[in-house]
Amino acid sequence: MNDIFLRACRGEKVEYTPVWLMRQAGRYLPQYQAVRANIDFLALCKTPELAAEVTIQPVDILGVDAAILFSDILIPVEAMGMQLVFSDKDGPVFSEPIRNKSAVDRLIIPDAEVDMPFILESIKILREKLKNKVPLIGFSGAPFTLATYMIEGGGSRHFLQTKKMMFQNKRLFDYLMEKLTATLILYLSAQVKAGAQALQIFDTWAGMLSPIDYKNFALPYVKKIIYELKREGLPIIYFVNNCAGILHEVKKSGADIVGIDWRIDIADAIKKLGKKVVVQGNLDPCALFLSEEDIEERVKDILWKGEVARGHVFNLGHGVLPETPVKNVIALVKAVHRLSHI
């Protein structure tokens, strides 16, 4: 098995910089579209054989150095008892958002083996199919990011309901976050037991918080998850979107690897994080619409600046966009491998 990703995550010297991409299994790939044409998104996540198939597609097509489980961050939220619907127009929708104590009371802390067995079965299938290829990354959303969907009822621009609860009823907000944290510890631990070889925690919306609010309302919970999972002994990646203003707090999370978005120069991020942290990132996903020559120049810049970190895993600053040309994604992966080769 190509284990260069795992070695880079541990800060070991590697022959080249490993690369994988957020949303590397997705709508930009015709092979994914062919599978997706016959099944809705949530059903795809819950069908282990098909979820495994689309997880492996980018490994074979792109030549990336790690696979990430095909699923969705909201799967454990649904298992907690919320009704989840994916709309082509509006994305994820919760028809009854969390707005009061009785709503939080009704949420359960699910048992992954009982309530989400399809996730664990997908991981087991993938470990068998990937054993001679690359490592498998398991994942979850971070408590704060999941809470925003639960409180808002879906996506949001301003997160008004979330911030109102934070500022007007902190006790209720903490109650929700505690349940989410307990759920995610069990969920991620079950993924490790099933065979995940690294974990990524996605905090997609943490960057909309001020530094003081991130410190008070989001960081304590993700720290607890990482602390509990450290005993599993595998790399833990914490990705925070729009992280530039809160990196001095993010570095306190305890994560082995910090994933950063493209809104901050990777050299500046490394200075703020310090040289004890492995970094992951951080090409703008829209840069994949550049010419292959220009993509290569962007790759060179990020690789050069990433050399001073304890370790570097190349990735985008967010997920691959559906309109992205596949040939450009393949060119990106080849450029990372070629230009970083010792």
Which residues are part of the catalytic machinery? 23, 27, 36, 72, 149
Q: Where are the beta strands (DSSP E) in the chain?
A: 67-68, 84-87, 91-94, 136-141, 198-203, 236-240, 257-260, 278-280, 312-313
β-sheet bridge partners, residue 283: 316
- What does the alpha-carbon distance between residue 330 and residue 308 come to, in Å, rounded to a whole number? 26
How far out from the chain centre does Cα 88 lie? 21
Q: Decide: helix, strand or coil at residue 155.
A: coil
- What does the alpha-carbon distance between residue 126 and residue 123 come to, in Å, rounded to a whole number? 5
- What does the alpha-carbon distance between residue 77 and residue 178 come to, in Å, rounded to a whole number? 13
Residue 319: DSSP 8-state? P
144 contact partners, CB below 8 Å, separation of at least 6: 177, 203, 205, 206, 209, 217, 218, 221, 222
Q: Half-sphere exposure of 215 toward its Cβ, with a 13 Å CA cutoff? A: 10
Structure tokens at 183: 């759920």
Element (H, E) at 222: helix 219-229
**CA-angle at 199, arms to 198 and 201, nearest 5°:** 160
- What does the alpha-carbon distance between residue 200 and residue 190 come to, in Å, rounded to a whole number? 14
